[in-house]
């Protein structure tokens, strides 16, 4: 196509000029924007270069300190916390006087021996009273009844189930409660992990330690036997038939069936500054076991769950760190069940996790530092917090004595003045007592039969050998709600 005239050429020139002018304006704006962005950075560099390094470090530390102070500030409005004791929380109580086990409805009174916390405050102090009654009489299992008969005890063995329905606080306030009461524990003692001591090498030193341990054990046994109260109980228990009762001081765990509302707590500003942090290193806290553990059924890796029964406070400012009810999780790290030849069980657990109030989990290194158990369980703690049942040293003496008594029934001296046609009276009585306790003692002393004395002596010696050396040992059993003392070591936060 042929180009137009002069007017067409001029219109093309005007269009080119307009495009060039727009392009130039755009380039100018881009250059101005780049210069504006570069100017603050250059000025900041010049400013930073102009400030000396020590002064700049001080300024940065001041800014960081102000930020931390602002982060730690809490609202000036006091915080209100509801104090509620959840269901299944046990009240550890001890009987005030003995309770006969003969009928249902017998009134029972006990006192709280351990305080109960809610969040950070004691809501049920130690010394509070609980009252209730006997609600059921339970006969003993057949195997236990047979074992008692073999020992000359003809008492129909029974146990009582209790129920507490009223809680009386120290201020006089009475609260109705509904509880589920566990089996009683007599003579509760507190075990503490043994400290390792330097051991001297050599056979002579080991023999010295063994003799010293047996000597001190014998002294403790003599001191216990000379107690008039013990002698009275022992004499009653040796009777072939005697009344049964729950002793004063027997400890029970009364679990609450329903939550208990104890009002609310008003916390001052700043009281929760350390709330939810990790427990301080080397701190010891009381806790309770949520499930029963036994060396007979537990395996390595079996989970262990406990819950804190008291709060943890910071060592200096006394601020709340972890509240009551914080969960502790761990596992069984070593276990040995009881075996034949009187080999007892072993159970060792370790706490590895703490559930923080925020829902996060903290990894910790904690072990058992103490346990509250019954004396009859014979449990001991080693230096690493492992629960074991040591072998009694006196089993050698008891077995040797039973065998000596049995042997004496075969000795005869017709010419002696103390001998009779049926054998020595004292030998027969001792032989009967070694096997059947008081019943055997009376039978052996009254029946003038040499053969009977020999049978009683052999039975007593054989039972002693079987019970002390051949029978299966005892398993370590930590029942539900067993009080523990947990010692925390190193810790580190975890993100899961």
Around Cβ 41, how many Cβ atoms within 10 Å? 9
CA distance linking residue 73 with residue 65, whole number of Å: 12
* Under 8 Å between Cβ of 352 and 329: yes
Around Cβ 432, how many Cβ atoms within 10 Å? 30
Tens digits of residue pLDDT in 309-326: 999 888 776 778 889 999
Nearest alpha-carbon partner for 93 in 162, 16, 191, 194: 162
pTM over 0.75: no
Nearest alpha-carbon partner for 451 in 422, 494, 472: 422
* Under 8 Å between Cβ of 283 and 328: no
Residues 6+ apart with CB under 8 A from 321: 274, 275, 276, 277, 278, 279, 280, 311, 312, 313, 314
Q: For every one of its 496 residues, what pLDDT tens digit does the chain have, with 9 covering 90 and above?
A: 334 444 444 444 555 555 556 566 656 555 555 555 554 444 444 444 456 767 766 776 777 666 656 655 544 455 788 999 999 999 999 999 999 998 999 999 999 999 999 998 999 999 999 999 999 999 988 887 887 777 667 788 889 999 999 999 999 999 999 999 999 998 888 888 865 444 444 544 554 555 455 545 544 554 554 455 666 666 666 677 778 889 999 999 999 999 999 988 888 777 787 888 887 778 889 999 999 999 999 999 999 999 999 998 887 767 788 899 999 999 999 999 999 888 999 999 999 999 988 788 888 888 898 999 998 888 999 888 889 998 877 787 778 877 887 787 776 544 444 444 445 656 655 665 666 665 566 666 666 677 777 777 787 778 788 888 888 899 999 999 999 999 887 655 454 4
Q: Name residue, tokens 């077995």.
A: 399
pLDDT at 200: 47
């Amino acid at each position: 196509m042929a180009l137009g005239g002069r007017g067409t050429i001029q219109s093309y020139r005007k269009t080119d000029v307009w495009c060039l002018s727009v392009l130039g304006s755009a380039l100018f704006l881009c250059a101005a924007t780049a210069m504006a962005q570069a100017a603050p950075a250059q000025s900041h560099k010049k400013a930073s270069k102009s400030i000396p390094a020590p002064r700049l470090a001080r300024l940065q530390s001041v800014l960081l300190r102000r930020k931390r102070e602002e982060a730690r500030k809490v609202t000036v409005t006091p915080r209100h916390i509801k104090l509620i004791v959840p269901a299944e929380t046990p009240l550890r109580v001890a009987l005030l006087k003995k309770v006969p086990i003969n009928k249902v409805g017998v009134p029972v009174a006990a006192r709280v021996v351990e305080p109960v916390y809610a969040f950070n405050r004691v809501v049920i102090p130690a010394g509070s009273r609980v009252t209730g009654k006997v609600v059921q009489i339970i006969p003993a299992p057949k195997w236990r009844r047979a074992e008692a008969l073999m020992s000359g005890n003809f008492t129909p063995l029974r146990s009582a189930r209790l129920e507490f329905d009223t809680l009386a606080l120290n201020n006089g306030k009475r609260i109705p409660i509904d509880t589920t009461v566990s089996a009683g524990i007599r003579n509760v003692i507190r075990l503490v992990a043994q400290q390792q001591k330097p051991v001297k090498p050599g056979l002579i030193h080991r023999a010295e330690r063994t003799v010293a341990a047996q000597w001190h054990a014998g002294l403790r046994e003599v001191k216990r036997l000379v107690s008039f109260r013990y002698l009275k109980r022992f004499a009653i228990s040796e009777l072939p038939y005697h009344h049964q009762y729950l002793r004063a001081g027997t400890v029970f765990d009364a679990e609450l069936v329903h939550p208990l509302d104890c009002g609310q707590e008003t916390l001052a500003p700043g009281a929760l500054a350390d709330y939810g942090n990790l427990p301080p290193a080397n701190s010891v806290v009381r806790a309770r076991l949520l499930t029963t553990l036994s060396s007979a059924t537990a395996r390595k890796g079996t989970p262990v769950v406990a819950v804190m029964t008291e709060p943890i406070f910071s060592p200096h400012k006394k601020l709340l760190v972890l509240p009551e009810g914080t969960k502790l999780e761990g596992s069984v790290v070593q276990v040995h069940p009881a075996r034949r030849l009187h080999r007892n069980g072993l159970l060792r657990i370790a706490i590895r996790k703490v559930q923080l109030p925020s829902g996060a989990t903290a990894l910790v290194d904690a072990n058992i530092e103490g346990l509250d158990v019954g004396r009859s369980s014979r449990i001991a703690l080693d230096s690493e917090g492992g629960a074991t049942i040591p072998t009694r040293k006196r089993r050698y003496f008891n077995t040797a004595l039973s065998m000596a008594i049995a042997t004496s029934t075969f000795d005869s001296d017709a010419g002696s003045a103390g001998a009779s046609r049926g054998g020595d009276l004292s030998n027969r009585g001792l032989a009967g007592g070694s096997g059947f306790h008081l019943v055997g003692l009376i039978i052996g002393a009254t029946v003038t039969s040499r053969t009977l004395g020999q049978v009683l002596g052999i039975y007593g010696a054989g039972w002693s050998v079987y019970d002390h050396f051949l029978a299966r040992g005892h398993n370590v059993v930590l029942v539900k709600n067993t009080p523990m003392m947990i010692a925390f070591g190193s810790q580190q936060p975890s993100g899961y």
